[in-house]
């Protein structure tokens, strides 16, 4: 069975699991800035499901 990309995207959206505390707390911009400082974009974590960007944490 093959699904259209738009269907797969929709399934991913509706089946996403909220990780809750402490994950959500640690992803807040202020907390990330306090923990990692200006080094956040330099950290490569191949196992992370959360994708970092080069944009500074605000």
pLDDT at 57: 52
- Spell out the per-residue pLDDT of the chain, length 58, in tens: 899 999 999 999 999 888 889 988 888 889 988 988 888 778 777 666 565 555 555 4
Q: Is residue 31 classed exposed, middle or buried when 0-12, 13-18 and 19+ CB atoms within 10 A define those classes?
A: middle
5-6-7-12 Cα dihedral, nearest 10 degrees: 90
**Which one, of 58, 23, 50, 54, lies nearest residue 39 by Cα?**
54
């Amino acid at each position: 069975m093959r699904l259209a990309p738009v269907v797969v995207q929709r399934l991913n959206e509706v089946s996403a699991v909220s990780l809750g505390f402490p994950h959500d707390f640690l992803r807040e911009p202020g907390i990330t800035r306090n923990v990692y400082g200006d080094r956040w974009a330099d950290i490569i974590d191949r196992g992370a499901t959360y994708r970092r960007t080069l944009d500074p944490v605000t």
